[in-house]
Amino acid sequence: MKLTRKLVLARAKASDLESVKKLNCWGCNLTDISIFTEIPNIEVLTLSANQIVSLEHLSSCQHLCELYLRRNSISSLCELQHLKPLRCLRVLWLAENPCCSNPQQYRLTVIRNLPGLHKLDNQVVTEEELAQALREGEELVSPPGPTPTSSTNGLTEADSENDPQDYSMEETNMIRAQLGLKLLSRDKFPSLPSPREAGDAHKKKSHTLEAVLLLLKDLDVDELRMVQSATESKLRSCRRLREQQNTAHTHQQNTAHTHQQNTADICS
């Protein structure tokens, strides 16, 4: 069944689509929700217990804060790509869809790709869970749908998707987008070593940095000042430690030089 303009206006008790901010279409046997390309100001949307297979037409709902999709027919987590542009999305209920067959990995993958969520499937997303998701969740780098026809520089589709340079660029640009920075183009992105060659310690530091940067966007002014104060304190401690290490190194060099001179005097 197709969700029509008439049905939307009747359920939302609105006079036009642009004024619709809340809509409940629970259990309407819906398969076609393309009408949402014409409902840009929707904030709370309930589409549970339908037969929806794609989230493509929700990508333009920039004001969407809460989305309820449980008990539909969404088979691939790649559909989450359509939700990534929704910077206001804080609540998502996706349980009881075919894509949720592996509950633990499913949850980590959703949080990994939608790090701004506060609640997933009626469970609060904690900072610890977000950090784990950034380490273990699958990053969805390819949008659902037909394979793009753009050149992959002679590589197969699988090689292109697993190319460490593409993956690192995606990771970097995701963080830059979260911070409101300009995205990097490929010609300005340095070639990086394979993740296998980088080492576990490097991966851990990288994921920790990602978690910190992604959390910054949810902090208010007072909390950001606290982060700034803690960062400055940490920097001062690092500088003092470096100065102490330099002093100790210089002292060792001077001691060794004095010892060499004394040995030379004795020999002469």
Instruction: Using alpha carbons, select from 118, 79, 114 the residue that is nearest to residue 99.
Output: 79
Query: pTM for the complete prediction?
Result: 0.56
pLDDT of residue 165: 38
Per the structure, the complete domain to which residue 244 belongs is given by 230-268
Q: Which of 143, 162, 197 is the last residue of a domain?
A: 143
Tell me: do 116 and 239 sit in the same domain: no
Q: Which of 88, 116, 143 is the last residue of a domain?
A: 143
pLDDT of residue 35: 97
Higher pLDDT among residues 115 and 260, named by residue: 115
Q: What is the mean pLDDT of residues 54-81?
A: 96
Tokens representing 160 are: 């292109």
Tokens representing 101 are: 């067959």
Range in 76-80, 142-146, 190-194 with the lowest mean pLDDT: 190-194
Is 107 domain-assigned?
yes
Range in 6-20, 133-147, 206-220 with the lowest mean pLDDT: 206-220
Q: Which of 87, 120, 143 is the last residue of a domain?
A: 143
Instruction: Using alpha carbons, select from 80, 29, 32 the residue that is nearest to residue 59.
Output: 80
Query: Residue 182 half-sphere exposure, CB side, CA atoms within 13 Å?
Result: 5
CA distances from 153 to 92, 146, 159, 185, 212 (A): 38, 19, 10, 16, 34
Tell me: do 262 and 139 sit in the same domain: no
Range among 128-142, 158-172, 212-226, 247-261 rated most confident? 128-142
165, 191 contact by CB (below 8 A): yes
